[in-house]
Structure 1
Amino acid sequence: MMISYLLGKQIAAMLLMVFMGFAIVRMKLLSAQDSRVLSAVALYIICPCMMLDAYQLDCTPERMQGLMLSLAAAAFALGIGIVINLLIKEPLALDPVEQTSALYSNSGNLIIPIVVYVFGQEWVLYTTGFLVMQTILFWTHCSTVLQQNPKISLLRILTNINMLAVFLGAAMFLLDMRLPEVPALAVHAVGVMIGPLCMIVTGMLIGSMDFGRFRQYRKLPLIVALRLIFYPLVTLVAFRLSGMSGWVENGETIIMISFFAASAPVASSITQMAHIYGRDAEYASVINVVSTLLCVFSMPVMAWLFQI
């Protein structure tokens, strides 16, 4: 019950942030086009700071083992998801926005506050396994799917600021290094902005919509069902059959954290990336908001299924 209650509170807070973005567009203080600049700020400044900040912890053998388990769980879940996406995209006629929305979850700003409150601040490290793996896939698989004319460049991927933040953060963790106090304060303050800013950008896009057009998105229920029900259930079965929770001490809790990340609604970053790559960002934001609304019901059910 505690986990379900915290999920409900966090989701309600996120929806209020969406409403803020919606309101400033409806009041004509800003336009939906202004959200493109905010999207770039979120992807190229705030996301790297969030990743770097997550690794500012002491490196111990127990944390190292747990982190490796969380990375393995994320790679396992997302790998299965990508394979399923490849198998269903043609039979279901999924476009790039639908493919990426069904696969990638809001595993950061929704899950981290819940983990802090339920398990404690030190457990946030194990949310980074999913975040790191998803960040890598955002700038490889996801960006390739969303680009109109994708040209994959390994050098460009590895030198992307988000990837550099992952590499630097991981290196500092392994070497037991810390940022100096002043830069650390700045990185932390910027990193925690990711949730509110992404939700506000989504609200700004929603604020410019003609709600009568919702009817034209005929596959909206399908995409939301894939994200909130189908992929989480597949992940749950895969985790149970793998026996991964017995690999390390406290493995059950670490796998639970990874499962929560896999059960979250559509990643807010899909909207920003669709915006930047010229895809239908309005459709992406509709999927994001509807999945966020409905996860009030789906995530507590998934949490219960994990624990039985």
Structure 2
Amino acid sequence: MKFETEKEYLSHFNIQNDGQLIINNSEDLNRINALIKDKIKITGISESRQEFSQEIMAILEKEKRFFEFRLKNYLDTNNREAIPYDYFEQEIDVEDNISELTEEEQEASEKYYDEKRSKINTLEEAVEFLISEELNEDQINEIRNKSLSSKFDNLDSHFGVGMYFRNMFIYPNKNENFIQYLKNHDPEYMVDRGEFGEGMIEDFLWRKLNHYIITEESKKKIEELRKEPFANDSFWSNYIKEQLISYNLDEAIIKEYLDLEDKKDTDGDHFMEYHYQQKRLLAGLSEDESLIFENMKQDFLNLERLVLKIKHNYGRNRKEKDK
């Protein structure tokens, strides 16, 4: 295990040359427990231990999920929020700010929005309506806080913001011009259109708020890329490259990202290492942020390797017993 405490408090304990602390009795263990300031990080399990209870595995699996969630959140938010160790133990005070409208006020509000939606004919107009009329400051800031890293790892659009935009622009909308526009519009880069085109609204809104509107230069690069002949096995690489170009990224970043993608295919044992290095590239971390990222990444990878090792040893021991 690894933990933080004041070094001077450990002078009478058995400390090895490599800095490891050896605890041989329950009395010393109680003393150490009193000195620990924060969360204990599990880094390994003694080779001599052959049996692992379900309780131990549950603890390790929970730790692994927490560290991965912490790492992912750090990379997927532009404010680089480092989730504290007691994040899931904190009580969340939810303020009920929902105001009840009278029936007349509700009808007037619906009429106002119906009129507004009836005049929307383009993607730009829909996004402008969302920013100026529909979304509040907290919602806008939440979208601004989504990093580019999150755009490549987002699976909740269909039932999250996608459903919200379908309810806003598709189902109640009598504006057939806008519905047809969404069906026929070509953004000139690959994008998940969603069921009715709501995916393009979500994408354009995020790009506008985060200053990632595709440039004419990037559009030309994508046009040239589509003209290049490629084998079937390179389709995925070209698909990813087109996405990266659409965010106006430098050629060096695109190359490094694609190199890591190749390593994921050829070195499966380190798949997650390469995956989070890719997310680090897209997040655009500073030097100080990169140090924090490395610590978070190691916390997660250590637990992942440990869980896999235990499962492997457990399976091997079970086979030997069966023999």
TM-score calculated relative to the size of structure 1: 0.20
- Point out which structure has higher relative CO (alpha carbons under 8 A, 6+ apart): 1
Structure with more of its chain in helix, by fraction: 1
- Pair member with larger Rg: 2
TM-score, scaled relative to structure 2 = 0.19
